[in-house]
Structure 1
């Protein structure tokens, strides 16, 4: 085994460089008195955060699948009933960005606020 690493350098991660924070948020699609919505309707993260969204479709009527999209961050997911999906993206710009169901436009979407 001696010499297995000869000729190459092994570098450890620099502990002085903080890892980018991961912001984890769970959203659930529900039917509220006949209106389909993602809850919560407003999300907040900081610019530079990696954002992990866990999406759960709990709408028991109508189509088996519902969409979730944040166009400004290239997020587009189809979520089957009771089959959670996760999506990760980097919040690389600040501002207020809408999210929506790209499969059923009449459904109510929401917004994600990315702070500087």
Structure 2
């Protein structure tokens, strides 16, 4: 009886130890919203510094997300969540997809999509842990509504 009880507790301990890693990979989570009401990991967007701004633009006949390359140096910035400002300056509705899926395919991969009306601005809050779980140092952004539009890359210096 004592050996069975000990084996049961040991098995339960092993199961709990295995699931704690699963929860750690899903810590945080990407949040979207406006500057006044949005928050990520308990911190309001309005209290965070905008780390990068992205703009949907029309240059001639080409629709692009500008800038084509954005660099965030995590060696020099505080450990606060990352706040991205996304604005549609084009005349049509555009999507903004930020994903690390090109580097990995785990269920916890960084992947967010928003749709912006002309002139609309939204904010995306990202816990630094979600960015660091992304394999490699490059995350791509593009318009998920229009595959022909030009996207860009977010380079993370870790």
TM-score scaled to structure 1, two decimals? 0.70
Q: CA RMSD in A?
A: 2.0
Higher helix share: 2
Deviation, 1:49, is 5.8
The aligned residue for residue 94 of structure 2 is 66
Runs of 4+ in 1 over 3 A off after TM superposition: 46-49
The count of aligned residue pairs is 93
| 2:55–2:88 Cα contact (<8 Å) kept | yes
Larger strand share, 1 or 2? 1
Correspondent of 1:25 among 43, 52, 75: 52
Q: Secondary structure at the match of 2:144?
A: coil
Mapping of 1:1-116 within 5 angstroms? 24-47=51-74, 50-60=81-91, 64-72=92-100, 73-90=110-127, 91-92=131-132, 93=134, 94-116=136-158
Q: Give TM-score, length-normalised by structure 2.
A: 0.53
Contact 1:45-1:51 within 8 A present in 2 as well: no
* Structure 2 unaligned spans of 5+: 1-47, 101-109
Deviation at 1:107, TM superposition (A): 0.2
Report Cα offsets for 1:29-52 as digits up to 9, x if no partner: 110111001111111124566221
